[in-house]
Structure formats: structure tokens, C-alpha cells
Amino acid sequence: MRLTDYLDKGASLDPAAPCLTMGDTSLSYGEVQKLSWQVGRALARSGVKPGDKVAILSGNDPLSFGCVFGISRAGAVWCPVNPRNEAAENRELLDLFDCTCLLVQESFAPLVSRMLPDLPKLSTVVCLDGTMPGAVPFSDWIDSADPWEETPPDDMVLLVGTGGTTGHPKAVMLSGTNVETMSALTLMSYPFTGRPRYLALAPLTHAAGVLCFPVLTLGGEIVVMPSPDLGEFLALVERRRITHTFLPPTLIYLLLDNPALDAADLSSLQCLWYGAAPMSATKLAEAITRIGPVFGQLFGQSEAPMMVSTLAPAEHVHPDGSLALERFTSAGKPTPLTQVAIMSDTGELLPPGERGEIVVRGSLVMLGYYKNPDATAEASAHGWHHTGDIGYLDDDHYLYIVDRAKDMIITGGFNVYSAEVEQALMAHEAVQDCAVIGLPHEKWGEQITAVVQLHSGRTAAAQELRAAVKERLGSIKTPKEILVWPDLPRSKIGKVLKTEIRKALLDNA
């Protein structure tokens, strides 16, 4: 399937049904189809050929996301660019992607002006919602809305930037087959009753955007939030009778602290997906108790999008309705169309219970890294895709992720997984979020150090937190130092940035 096929499938069910909605404005399936034909023709007229790369630089917006289908109509490759990145980072990505065309919102004109002089391959810039220097206004750029599309040269539909261990980004090549597999796994793994209404609060450049495709196949409505306001999120779920949404754990923690939560009517929810970072088992139990048994976990990465393993809402509870707490620290079970194994450093597949790198194969796995055969070969050693995550499979085939390989701490000759220590800290009622890292130490090699953010109005002494971890994990895994910060540095999608924490602590040492 091409990306346009998801839209066309939804349109075949009811072209007048709402497709993309923000505020009081809604575009029907028929209107988004018309937009895709207009954008596709305009791209071709601007010199974009099948297989060329087209970037979109925009906040969450129906018009911008509708343009994705125009890129697909032209047989081109969609390159989502995060508007919260700095100019240098986005310039590097656009150059790496070989983008020839950029569709951008007017509010990002200053960002674009700093990038354009160093992007000679970028021949066309279109301003989606106004005017800006060096760009053609969208209304002047588009014309005919007659049905039209080009044939792409291959199956690549999407280029996604991802950070590299060298500090330079890599471009993940995703195929139509990858997106089709992900969409099929979504539809078979989670509850969908009736025509879904999906609320996109998180950036459409990330997981929230990819989850739109399976919703479209059912003729569902995508309600777009331009900014992550949790009060408005609760109001929209109630007012729009939202059935599906996605939140990273950090936003779920903030939602649990929102005073409007308990009074909100969230009874329409069928599935609230969570993922992109580990979630506290304690906070997950609280969320299910207060919101309902609607939480569905997903585990994946850009290279194997979203659905490597899943834990459906029904698997969070036992048949008698009690919480299945023993599964809350797992990432669920590998999905039906995906093979998952645990591999040693020497390429040996390990038995249940043994820890090693999580490796994956199947039609969910990327085509490779764009123009980077060495990185592709390294990631696909021994015939499996290497995730960089450390984990194990239990006897019931539940997958447990214990850490990123680069986040493992070696202290006094013992391997300590930071995620395990973070789970213990998050179990304390005063802790809202935390990060555990290893810092250089003359005696131990590395010292386990924790930085915590407390709930508003709560207090907890470092000694109290250390005692709580020691009781759960023992002295070896207990942080030697615990610092309380008012907030933790986070990425654009809410992940805690351990690299910045480590740098700050080393700079102040």
C-alpha cells in the first residue's frame, strides 16, 4: 500500500465523513483527497519527480498532514521534520535527506532563513499559511483538483531522521510494506469498535502521525491538537467522544497530576496507547485505576515502527478484573508478523530468561539507512535487526526491556540496568519522574547517580529515596547519590535526556 491508499480506503467508506479536524474546522475525506491531487500536481509542476524527497516543517495541523498524501500522489518520499529542532539540526537532516522541496508554515520563517543558504539542493519552498521570503504562497502554488497520481520508482515512502552514536543523524528508509505491516498489527492488536475518533496530541512527525494510517482505513476521524495542553486534551476526549489516542509516559504522569482528570468523562476511550519510553509500573496502575482499563502499550523504534511487541488493554487485567501487575514492566508479546529474539554479543540466540540485545526480523523492519551502507550492515548483523535495547523473554514469551545498551552501568564489576533502578524510584509516591545514570568513579568504575523530579507540593529526602530503592533492589543497585531537580531536560517528544543530565553533572563536578 502507498500512503494514499489509506486515505482512499477511508474515502471509499464515506467521502463526506470528517477526516482531519482541528477546532471548529474539519476537512472531509473527499476534501483531503482533492487536496492530495492538488498538492501532487503542484509538486510535479515544480520539478519534483517520483522518488524525490519532500519535507514538511510544521506544527500539528490538518493542512500540513493532508499534504503528506499529496507527496504520495506525486510518487515522492515524505520527510517529516520536527519543528522544535534547532536550525543546524534540521539543516543537517534536510541535506542528508536530499530534499528538493520544503512545505513550511509561516511561523518557521526565521528558522528556514537560517537554513536555506546551506541547502543548495532545495529548489522549491512553499509557505502553507501565509508569505515568507524565498517561498511561494500555497494558494498560488496549487491548481487543478482532478484525480491524478504518479507511479513511484520503488517502495520507499518515508525517510525518518534518527540520532546516531556518532552524534550525526541517520535517515531510516521506511517502505510501504513497513507501514502496511505496522497498520495491520495495530488493527489486529488493539480494540477498534465502530468508526474511530483519534486524538493526536503528540507531534504528527512521530508516533502520533504514523498511528493515523490504520485509523484512516476504518474511515475514522483524526482530531488534531496544535499544542500539548492536557486540560484541552481532557475536554476534547469528552466533547468529541474520542476513542483512541497516544501519550508518552511523561504526559501520562502530568495527566495524573491534572486537577481536572477525575471529573472528566473519558468513557468513550477504547485505547490509550503509551510508549516511546519506559513507563513506571506504579504510575500505570494508578492510571488504569483512575481512567479505566484502556491502556495499550506498544514497543518499536523508527527502524521497526511501533509494533515490535504489544500489550493490549485486556492484557493489563486478569479475567476477574484485578490488575495484572506482573506484566506491567513488560513490553507485551512480540506481534504476530514479527520475530523477536535475544542475542549475545557473539551472535548467539539466548534462551528464555537470559539477558542480551533485543533483535527483530520481519516485514516491519526498515529497508536500511539512507546512503549509509556501513550503518545498515552493522544494524543487520547475523541476519537480524539490532535494536540497541537490552532485554529478555520469559517462559510465556513476554518481552522485558531492561535498558538501552548504552545506558547500562558497570559499578564494582556488577552490571546495573538504569531502567530497573528508575522503576524502583518511580514506585515512591513523591517521585513524578527520574533518570539514573553512571558517573565516573575511581573506586567503583561508575557510580550510580539519580536525578529526580518530585510531584508539586511533595517532598522527599535523598536518604528516604535511597532507603526505598535499597529495600527493593539491594545495596549494589542503590544510587550513591540522589539529586532533586525542579524539572528534567526532555526531548521534543517528552523523553528525558540523560546525555544533558550527565553533561550538567560532569560540568559541575
Residues found in the chain:
509
What pLDDT does 164 receive? 46
pLDDT at 305 over 90: yes
Q: Which residues contact 267 (CB under 8 A, 6 or more apart)?
A: 292
| Cα separation, 8 vs 251, whole angstroms | 33
Is residue 400 located within the same domain as residue 417? no
Percentage of the chain modeled with pLDDT above 70: 98
Is residue 262 located within the same domain as residue 383? yes
Pairing mode of beta strands 385-393, 399-404: antiparallel
pLDDT at 115 over 50: yes
Q: What is the arithmetic mean of pLDDT over 180-185?
A: 97
Helix, strand, coil share (%) of the chain residues, nearest 5:
35, 30, 40
Residue 17 forms part of a structural domain: no
User: How does pLDDT run across 72-109, given as a tens digit for each residue?
Assistant: 999 999 999 888 777 888 888 999 999 999 999 999 99
User: How does pLDDT run across 421-473, given as a tens digit for each residue?
Assistant: 998 999 999 999 999 998 888 777 789 999 999 998 899 999 999 999 988 88
Residue 132 forms part of a structural domain: yes
Q: What is the CATH number of the domain that holds 70?
A: 3.40.50.980
User: How does pLDDT run across 492-507, given as a tens digit for each residue?
Assistant: 667 788 888 988 998 8
What pLDDT does 185 receive? 97
How distant, in Å, are the alpha carbons of 213, 223, 268, 281 from that of 241? 20, 11, 5, 27
Pairing mode of beta strands 53-57, 77-81: parallel
Residue 167 forms part of a structural domain: no
Decide: 65 and 32 in contact? Cβ < 8 Å.
no
Is residue 343 located within the same domain as residue 462? no
Is residue 363 located within the same domain as residue 233? yes
Q: How many CB atoms are closer than 10 A to CB 341?
A: 16
Q: What is the arithmetic mean of pLDDT over 338-358?
A: 95
| Cα separation, 489 vs 496, whole angstroms | 6
Q: What is the CATH number of the domain that holds 260?
A: 3.40.50.12780
Percentage of the chain modeled with pLDDT above 90: 71
Residue 159 forms part of a structural domain: no
Residue 491 forms part of a structural domain: yes
Q: Of the candidates 121, 154, 187, which is a domain's last residue?
A: 154
Q: Give the SS3 label for residue 403.
A: strand
Number of structural domains, the chain? 3
Residue 449 forms part of a structural domain: yes
10: closest CA among 177, 161, 137, 196? 196
Q: What is the arithmetic mean of pLDDT over 150-164?
A: 88
- Alpha carbon dihedral 363, 364, 365, 367, in 10-degree steps, equals 70
Is residue 397 located within the same domain as residue 498? no
- Paired strand residues for 170: 162
| Cα separation, 415 vs 390, whole angstroms | 12
Domain that holds residue 71: 26-154
| Cα separation, 439 vs 340, whole angstroms | 32
Is residue 196 located within the same domain as residue 305? yes
Residue 9 forms part of a structural domain: no
Is residue 399 located within the same domain as residue 420? no
Q: What is the CATH number of the domain that holds 426?
A: 3.30.300.30
What pLDDT does 413 receive? 67
Residue 13 forms part of a structural domain: no
196: closest CA among 242, 132, 234? 242
User: How does pLDDT run across 365-422, given as a tens digit for each residue?
Assistant: 999 999 999 999 999 999 999 998 999 999 999 999 887 767 778 787 677 878 889 9
Is residue 272 located within the same domain as residue 342? yes
Q: Of the candidates 404, 422, 451, which is a domain's last residue?
A: 404
Average per-residue pLDDT for the chain: 91
How distant, in Å, are the alpha carbons of 200, 490, 492 from that of 495? 18, 5, 7
Is residue 416 located within the same domain as residue 444? yes
Cell 509542476, residue located: 45
Is residue 309 located within the same domain as residue 397? yes
| Cα separation, 2 vs 17, whole angstroms | 21
Is residue 144 located within the same domain as residue 234? no
CA atoms within 13 A on the CB side of 464: 10
Q: Of the candidates 404, 435, 463, which is a domain's last residue?
A: 404
Q: How confident is the model at residue 277 (pLDDT cuts 50, 70, 90)?
A: confident
Cell 495495530, residue located: 186
Q: Where are the alpha helices (DSSP H) in 363-461?
A: 373-379, 418-426
What DSSP assignment string belongs to 233-280?
HHHHHHHHT--EEEE-HHHHHHHHT-TTTTTS--TT-SEEEE-SS---
What pLDDT does 36 receive? 97
Is residue 418 located within the same domain as residue 395? no
